[in-house]
Structure 1
Amino acid sequence: MLRASVIVFPGSNCDRDVKTALERVTGYSPKMVWHGDASVPSSDVIVLPGGFSFGDYLRCGAMAAHSPIMRDVVAKAKTGTPVIGICNGFQILCETGLLPGALLRNASLHFICRDVFLKVENDQSFFTKCYRKGEVIRIPIAHGEGNYFADTDTLDRLEGEGRVAFRYSDAAGSTDAAASPNGAQRNIAGITDETGRILGMMPHPERLYEAALGGTDGRRIFESILLSTLEAA
């Protein structure tokens, strides 16, 4: 059994998408938890979905990070409950300090909505163990602020500890600057915490998890969640 909770903020627009992906891939329906609630039900995984929480006023994710529910999300994350933040959810994870760095305006200053190629850099985390390190996958992005930024020491630490989960690449797996759609430092598209149980990623795996949607490369995020949960049971 998988007990998942999806946090819903005012302006979330991918909460139902990720709910459907979880149901279709794992066979278990998640709880939908309102941002104004005080606590998250006992969960095997918590999802912070994509969207435009609070209209992206101030910094993206800054207001959502102070929603009442986030106090319990942070507390549960710090005691080991796995948390994945997708797109706006990644921004929220950075705003809460659960992940380092920040997501800045895209280098082009334009909103970008298209499929991109990613190179899998970490296949050992709670969320990525169904991928193979070094493989190239295709997953959509849809963001105006996906330009990952951190100071050099933080970037070096992420690299040295194997915490870069995904990197923007071309179809052949090259990760040069030209392959980044948004100017992200070192082409970073997703990172984990030290334990591998918190993942933030800008691309949307819930938008490409079955053939009817045009591809299945996002499916293994949800398969990894189920496998990791069953292994821990």
Structure 2
Amino acid sequence: MKAAVLSFPGSNCDQDLLWATRLVAGATAELVPASARTLTGFDVVMIPGGFSYGDYLCSGAIASLAPIMAAVQRFAAAGGYIIGICNGFQILTAAGLLPGALQSNAQLDFVCAPAPLTVVNNSTAFTNAYADGAQITLPIAHGEGNYYADADTLASLERHHQVVFRYQHNPNGSAHDIAGITNRAGNVLGMMPHPERAVEAILGGTDGLGVFTSLLTATKEAAYAGR
């Protein structure tokens, strides 16, 4: 598996993603700047957390217009796997690759804490390493992680099993306790918690490692199937 880790001005979790991906045997990762215009040769695209372009206008809005995002759109349309974490989730919604939006936390405070989660769909490219209904804990660190969508969109997400991670104790007011969703095709994931910050015991736990091993399995299966 070869992953492209996108780097925007202001990104601060790109190195974390590089490290976490490289911990998985059989996986490699490279930084790709926001100015790039192609993602040829990559199996996975990772959009990190941070404050892309200082979060001016609103979180993810300017990054969604960066040159690399045209290639990300093509990558998604071709069925490539894309994961956006925290600010990366915000970028994916701003770019129209995922439904809904991330708004200010309900309590209007930045939250930074371990977040207990439930894996509500382990049949995705990002969660196949977890047991169905697995209880895991991943760090969160955001001021605008309150997931919002209209009632019809929320119903559709639930009906098509696009909710992947759900908070056990909602920290930000997210509708339906949503912590992570996929697109309808299942190849694009956005999540507010940080799996890359939970990949080594010395950091407090390894519950995030499954996201990266899941992607490795999914890319191997896709290669075997000739996709």
Counterpart position of 2:206: 216
Paired residues of 1:5 and 1:41 also in contact (CA < 8 A)? no
Distance 1:94 1:215 in 2: 29
Structure-2 separation of matches of 1:162 and 1:137: 19
Change (3 A) 1:37 1:80: same
**Equivalent residue, structure 2, for 1:231:** 221
**Residue identity opposite 2:195 in structure 1:** P
Look up the equivalent residue of 2:132 and give its one-letter code: K
Q: TM-score, normalised by structure 2?
A: 0.96
Partner of 1:197: 187
The one-letter code of the counterpart of 2:90 is Q
Query: Percent identity between the aligned chains?
Result: 52
How far apart are residue 26 of structure 1 and its match? Answer: 3.4
Tell me the alpha carbon deviations over residues 80-104 of structure 1, each in whole angstroms, 9 at most, x when there is no partner: 1110000000000000111000000
**What is the CA-CA distance between 1:210 and the residue it aligns to?**
1.3
Q: Distance in 1 between matches of 2:216 and 2:39?
A: 19
CA distance in 2, matches of 1:109, 1:41: 40
Q: Which residue of 2 aligns with 1:135?
A: 134
Q: 1:144-163 CA distances to partner (integer Å, 9 max, x unpaired)?
A: 00000000000000000000
> Segments of 4+ in structure 1 off by > 3 A?
none
Deviation track 1:39-87 (CA, whole Å, cap 9, x = no partner) reads 1232110000010000011110000000000011111111111100000
After TM superposition, give the deviation of residue 208 of structure 1 in Å: 0.4
Determine which of 173, 178, 181 is the counterpart of 1:183.
173
User: What residue ranges of structure 1 are gaps of 5+ in the alignment?
Assistant: 170-178
Cα distance in 1 for residues equivalent to 2:36 and 2:206:
34
1:11 paired residue number: 10
Superposed CA RMSD in Å reads 0.8
Q: In structure 2, what residue type is equivalent to 1:139?
A: L
Asked whether the 8 Å contact 1:122–1:133 carries over to 2, the reply is yes
Q: SS at the partner of 1:26?
A: coil
Residue of structure 2 in register with 1:73 after alignment: 72
1:23 is aligned to 2:22: yes
- Aligned letter for 2:111? I
Aligned counterparts, 1:102-121, within 5 A: 102-121=101-120
Instruction: Kindly state the Cα deviation for residue 27 of structure 1 after the two structures are TM-superposed.
Output: 4.2
2:27/2:216 contact within 8 Å kept: no
Question: SS of the residue aligned with 2:217?
Answer: helix
Question: Does the 8 Å contact 1:106/1:145 carry over to 2?
Answer: yes
